[in-house]
Every structure is written in C-alpha cells, then in structure tokens.
Structure 1
Amino acid sequence: MKRIRTTLLSVFSLLLVNGCASQSQWLYPPMAIPLQVSAKKEVQIAQLTQLIQRKNLDDQVRAKMLYERGSFYDSVGLRLLARLDFDQSLALDPAQSDVYNLLGVNFTEEQQYDDAYEAFDSAIELNPDNLFAIRNRAIALYYGGRYELALEDLKKLTKDGEVDPFISLWRYIIEYEIDPTLAKKQLTEKYDARKPGWGWFLVGLMLDKVSNEEALKAIVTTSADNVVLAERLTETYFYIAKRYQLNGDLKSAYTLYKIVLSSNVYDYIEHKYAYIELDRIKKEAAQLQQQAASVEKVN
C-alpha cells in the first residue's frame, strides 16, 4: 500500500491506496476542519430576533424576517428552530414558494415524506418555475420509494437540450433503482458529451472514470481555503459513498457518509441527506443480518 500526502496543510492526512487500481482502502481520508458558525451569522440572527419582536411590524415584513431567520437557523443545522420560523412565516403570509421549499427539505431530512410532498406541491403551485422545489421534490420522492414520480420531476428540469451534471447524477441514482444498466448507459453518454466543470468531475467519480485517489488529491491541492475544501469534500464523499452503496459495499458507504456529516456544511443537500442514507444502510444491514440468521437456522 502506498501513502499519499499533500502539501496543502499538515492537518490534511491523505488516504492509503492498495496496489489494485479498482479499489482504494481508506486509512486517513482527507478532511477539512469542521465549519463553525461565523460571528457575522450569529449577529444577523440576533438582529433579526430583535426586529421580529417589534410590535409595529407589518405582517408581510415580519413574515420575511422569520423566513430569513429560519434560513439562518437551517444553515447552521438548527432544523427545529428553522421549521418553527417557517411555520410562523407562512401563517402570516402563505404565498411564499421559497419558504414551502425549505420546509419541504426540512421534512425530507426528518423522513416525514407525506408532509414534504405537500410542502413541495405548495411551493410549485405558487411558483411553477421554482426549479429547486421540483428538484427537491424529486429527491423526496426517491427517498420515499416513488421512483417513477421522481423521474418525472427530474425530466421537467432538462430543457432545450441542456444537461446539468447534478440533475444527471440524481437522475442516475433514481433510475438505478429501476434499470441499472440503462441508468449507467445514459449517464455515460452525458458524461462523454460533457463540458468542463466541477459537477462533471463528480459524475466521473460516480462512473469510475475518475479514481478516488485522483479526485481527492486534486481537491486537497487546489482548494483555496478550508471552506472550499469542506464544501468540495462534502459533495465528493457523498457521491463516492453513494457509488459504494449502489455496488453493495455498505461498510465503505457508511463510513463516508459519517465523514460527510463531520464537515458541518449544513447548506448542502449532500450533508442534509447523508443522515437519511445512514439510516437506510442501518436498516438494510439489519435485514441482511436477519436473512443470514434465518439461513443459518435452517441449515
């Protein structure tokens, strides 16, 4: 096995890679310093809290401030406080598509899928062009096991021949549950016709066109600062973990999803949904153990 080190900072230990080109064995995966709440964000939350308490505020102004504070709460991982603010904001002004979208993501994180669908439906009804709500509803439908409906939503996001790498990734993940061979064929075609960009780099990882070693070495050596490093590693580890998971390597996937959470990049959907993936792996592993125990008992 060969140890790979980078020069970005001594705090970043790299991985060990065995002699086999198709698999990497992780010992010290590169990690960023976990992101902390900035003083600026804390001040903004405090200021909004003071303003919201004023009695002479117009309902729409108060609704806007609650939405903004809820967004800040969400960005630092305080989901319950965020949901309370979103609920209060909608009670004052129910015609807010963006608030319903964030509320839907919040419900998805909690695996309350029916509530999530209802929130996304409201967001899209208020603003049919809310592409984030359409994408997020597709992901919620995927996690809720409604793959065909999820694909219908993602197909709405591809217009005039444009191909978005992140939409392509999620379409692959969803379609893999229906027809793995077709899913890989379609994603490979999109990757082969790609334009340069970070998103397609992640697609290459998913397809094994880019190795884990190449990807992580490039990220650690080119990230301008710790924030960029944390954000890129959050995305990278999530999709590597998803690839392992789809290939049946639950142990490796489980480890990487935990690393995703360690970054504290709460704004990214990859961080938000890593919790769901961990729970799904736990349940799948428990089922496999039960099946193995049943087979052993019969024998």
Structure 2
Amino acid sequence: MIANRIKFACLALVLILSGCSTPKSQWTQPPMAVPFQPTIQQQIQLARIDQLLQRDDLDNETLAQVYYERGLLHDSLGLRDLARLDFNQSLSLKPNQPDVFNILGVYFTQGAHFDAAYEAFDSTLELNVRHPFAQRNRGIALYYGGRYDLALEDLNAHYQQNINDPYRVIWLYLTELEQDPETAAEKLRNRYNAATDNNDWGWQIVRLYLEDVSESEFLRQIATESEDNDVLAERLTEAYFYLGKRYHHNKDFSSALMLYKLTLSGNVYEFVEHRFALLELNRLMAEVSINQPITPPAEPAEEV
C-alpha cells in the first residue's frame, strides 16, 4: 500500500513536469523517493562488530577482516570518514587486500586526490589483475583527473569484458564527449546497437542520451515501473546524476546544480552516482565565475 502511494505521488509529479514549457521550469517539482535510513539490521550488525573488536584473542588476519566489514557498514551508512579509518586499520594489519585498495581509491577520487587514487587502483590490479571494478574505477579517476586518453584505455578495456553492461557504455560516452563530442553520440549509438541484451534498466539512460526517449517519459517510467521505494530511490539517484551530467556539459549550470543535489537526496550512499555527485558539484562551482552567479530555475508559466 505504501509503495503504491509513493508511486502515485511520483507519477503525479512527473505529470506536472511533462506539462512545463521550458527546460529549467521542469525541475521546480522533481519526483522524489523517501531517503534511505539506517536499518535495524545495520545497527545491530554494527553493535555486534564493536563488541567483537573488544576481544583480545583475535589474530591479525581476523582483525583485518572485521575492520574491513565494519568499514563497509560505515560506508553503507554514509559515515565515510569512519569507514576510511577502518579500511586503513585493516590494511595496516593485512597489506595485501585488493578490495581495500580499490575502495580507498574511490575515496581518493571523491576527494579529488587523483594521484593517490591511481596508485591505489594500481595496487588493486597488481594484487588481483581480474578485479571486477578496479579498472573501471581507475578509468573514472583518470576521467575526473582530465587524463582522457588513459581513461579511455581503461574504460574501453572494461567495456570489452561485457558489452551488455549499460554503465560501461555510459562512462565511455561521457569520456568521449570530453574529447570528441561530434563522434561520441555516433559511438554511443553503435555500442547500443551492438548489445545483445539491452533489457537492463540502465539502458534507458543510454536511450535518454540518444534522445530516443524524452526526459518526461524517462521520469514517468521510473515512477511507474519501480517496484518499491528502494528501487525508486536507486533509479532516481542514477537518473538525476546522468541528467545532471548532460545539463552540466551543456553549460546549464543552474539545472545541473539542482540535479546533483537531487542525486544526493536519496541517501543511496553505495552507488557510484551518489559517490561522485559532490565531486561534480565542486567541479561545477569551479566553472562558474564569481561575477556570474547561478540563477534559480525560472518559475513555470501560468496556464491560460
């Protein structure tokens, strides 16, 4: 019943959006999900780990694993400074952990410490050349560091491992857009056509970038097809981030600013899109001159 009410409310908001007449006015009443909150299971798990760490009979390898698991829990709750302390403690007890280097690399990327991020991802791949995320994450770090040629090498190699993953296609497109906007869309279309299975919801973002679906229809589908609030929050986190990237690229800074803030609103801390929304906000503000402040979106015109 609650999920149906949420769907209905979001659908009503999307219908309002679809009636707006200008790009900026459509973001005055965006669809929202109930933000993620700490669950009782997470809180109990955290309390149990804290009790476990009070024992004095754990060897270093076990302690390293416990600190790593508590770090993941802190990370899922958005407590990233505490998570980083746990990951560093785990690494000091057991230095050969590719997963720990990988997530620390993501944290370094979030903080725009790109050289440290590259080193962390290099360490991950030295320890596990087949790590499922390190090459992608290094490619994203290189993208944010402005090293687009190297980013394309990593992201293209990652894409070749699974051409049916829409998010690999999206990050390749975003990087190519910085180098050659004229051919980026064509390459995006070719990769979309090359996919043998494009039923994953993420392909809808690709269709949005290809302009095969309108923004209002894109949001309408999220509202009507999300099974519950968790799915709604996750999809809106992705939707607002990649919409923000498009508005940002087109120099519509006020819309991009709002969309990045909306990306953060669902508290979906573990998603890449949430992780990099703050970084995008900082990049956006750096692009805006102090003499050209961001203006709020225009009010929607009254219907006659």
Q: Is the structural similarity TM-score above 0.5? A: yes
2:203 is equivalent to residue 200 of structure 1? yes
Contact 2:163 2:194 in 1 (8 A): no
Aligned residues: CA RMSD: 2.1
- Map of 1:49 onto structure 2: 50
**Which secondary structure does the structure 1 equivalent of 2:133 belong to?**
helix
Partner amino acid for 2:229? N
Partner amino acid for 2:144? Y
- Map of 2:286 onto structure 1: 283
1:76 Cα shift? Answer: 1.1
- The 3 A distance-change label for structure 1 pair 281 and 160 is closer
1:20 Cα shift? Answer: 5.8
Query: Displaced runs of 4+ in structure 1, greater than 4 A?
Result: 18-24
Alignment partners' CA distance in 1, 2:10 and 2:128 = 45
1:23 Cα shift? Answer: 8.0
- The 3 A distance-change label for structure 1 pair 7 and 118 is closer
**What is the number of equivalent residue pairs in this alignment?**
285
Contact 1:103 1:119 in 2 (8 A): yes
Residue 265 of structure 1 is aligned with which of 261, 264, 268?
A: 268
- Map of 2:96 onto structure 1: 95
Contact 1:124 1:130 in 2 (8 A): yes
Moved more, 268-277 or 208-217: 208-217
Contact 1:205 1:239 in 2 (8 A): no
Q: Residues 206-225 of structure 1 correspond to what in structure 2 (within 5 A)?
A: 206-225=209-228
Contact 2:106 2:137 in 1 (8 A): yes
Alignment partners' CA distance in 1, 2:284 and 2:132 = 29
Please list every run of 5 or more consecutive structure 1 residues that lacks an aligned counterpart in the other structure: 1-5, 291-299
- The 3 A distance-change label for structure 1 pair 11 and 164 is closer
Contact 2:68 2:87 in 1 (8 A): yes
Please list every run of 5 or more consecutive structure 2 residues that lacks an aligned counterpart in the other structure: 294-304
2:159 is equivalent to residue 158 of structure 1? yes
- Map of 2:296 onto structure 1: none
- Map of 2:173 onto structure 1: 172
2:249 is equivalent to residue 246 of structure 1? yes
- Map of 1:8 onto structure 2: 7
1:117-144 C-alpha deviation (Å, 9 max, x unpaired): 1111111110001120111111111111
- The 3 A distance-change label for structure 1 pair 42 and 244 is same
- Map of 1:293 onto structure 2: none
Contact 2:159 2:169 in 1 (8 A): no
Contact 1:237 1:256 in 2 (8 A): yes
TM-score, normalised via structure 2 length: 0.88
- Map of 2:79 onto structure 1: 78
**Which secondary structure does the structure 2 equivalent of 1:95 belong to?**
coil
**Which secondary structure does the structure 2 equivalent of 1:56 belong to?**
coil
Contact 1:24 1:213 in 2 (8 A): no
Partner amino acid for 1:216? L
- The 3 A distance-change label for structure 1 pair 10 and 114 is same
Alignment partners' CA distance in 1, 2:21 and 2:37 = 38
Alignment partners' CA distance in 2, 1:16 and 1:199 = 22
TM-score, normalised via structure 1 length: 0.89
1:155 Cα shift? Answer: 1.8
Alignment partners' CA distance in 2, 1:193 and 1:218 = 24
Alignment partners' CA distance in 1, 2:38 and 2:283 = 29
Partner amino acid for 1:135? R
Alignment partners' CA distance in 2, 1:157 and 1:116 = 18
Moved more, 160-169 or 85-94: 160-169
1:22 Cα shift? Answer: 7.9
1:95 Cα shift? Answer: 0.9
Partner amino acid for 1:240? L
Contact 1:17 1:24 in 2 (8 A): no
Contact 2:6 2:229 in 1 (8 A): no
1:18 Cα shift? Answer: 4.7
Contact 2:125 2:131 in 1 (8 A): yes
Contact 1:70 1:83 in 2 (8 A): yes
Moved more, 45-54 or 264-273: 45-54
Alignment partners' CA distance in 1, 2:24 and 2:277 = 22
- The 3 A distance-change label for structure 1 pair 39 and 287 is same
2:202 is equivalent to residue 186 of structure 1? no
Moved more, 69-78 or 201-210: 201-210
Alignment partners' CA distance in 2, 1:8 and 1:275 = 28
Alignment partners' CA distance in 1, 2:243 and 2:42 = 31
Identity of aligned residues (%): 49
